[in-house]
Amino acid sequence: MSDLTRSERPKAKRAEVMDGAENGSHSPKSGHLRTGVDAGLQAQIHRAALESCAFVGVELFDFVVRGNRNGLVLTVYIENDLRIVDGEARSGVAFQHCVDVTRDFSERLVPYEAALPRYRIDVSSPGIDRVLPAHVNLERYIGARLEAVGSAGDPGACHRGVLQDVTASALTLALEAGPVTLDRAHIQELRTAG
């Protein structure tokens, strides 16, 4: 996670950028602002996060905004060089990637500061046991151990296995008892299981 103080960013007067000690839960409602900020501004902030990641040369894994009109936490989860090693999804995110994305994103938010409440930027890797947002390309996770909660017959069912196949509507996990194909529409949460 990165840490940047106001004095290092003289252009952004209202922003507080601190380290991500308060990560909270990783929202499966990725990129959604339920904070009183209008939809047009939401899209501009998300676009700024995407552009910052592209500029630094990393991927935007997820973008989560928490808070209310009194203050926001803009959390940017980044990925770099994703690879599957012994069933674990591993990312090559370095501290410097987090610092660089934080600085660039902070500068890109300057034009929107008058419309935003106070905010803090947290940038980090999504971690080993990461919730996979709906927009993530699951084909990249073939061979990784995943945990899927929910199925057509049992919304509380938990299936843990290695991802074998992915289609637009289903995914197949290799479980100890054999492969199981799950309808993606019935999966409530999908996460890596390192």
Q: Give tens-digit pLDDT for 165-190.
A: 999 899 999 999 999 999 988 899 99
Burial of residue 25 (number of CB atoms within 10 Å: 0-12, 13-18, 19+): exposed
Q: What is the mean pLDDT of residues 133-151?
A: 87
Q: Give tens-digit pLDDT for 30-62.
A: 444 456 677 888 889 999 999 999 999 999 999
Burial of residue 86 (number of CB atoms within 10 Å: 0-12, 13-18, 19+): exposed
Chain center to CA of 165: 23
The answer on pLDDT for 2 being more than 80 is no
Which one, of 73, 102, 91, 83, lies nearest residue 12 by Cα?
102
Helix, strand, or coil (residue 100): helix
% residues pLDDT > 90 (the chain):
43
Q: What is the mean pLDDT of residues 72-97?
A: 87
* Residue that the structure tokens 């999908």 belong to: 190
Cα–Cα distance measured from residue 64 to residue 122, given in angstroms and rounded to the nearest whole number? 10
Looking at the DSSP bridge assignments, the partners of residue 90 are: 83
Average pLDDT, the chain: 80
Q: Which domains does the chain have, with CATH numbers?
A: 6-124 (3.30.300), 138-192 (2.30.30.100)
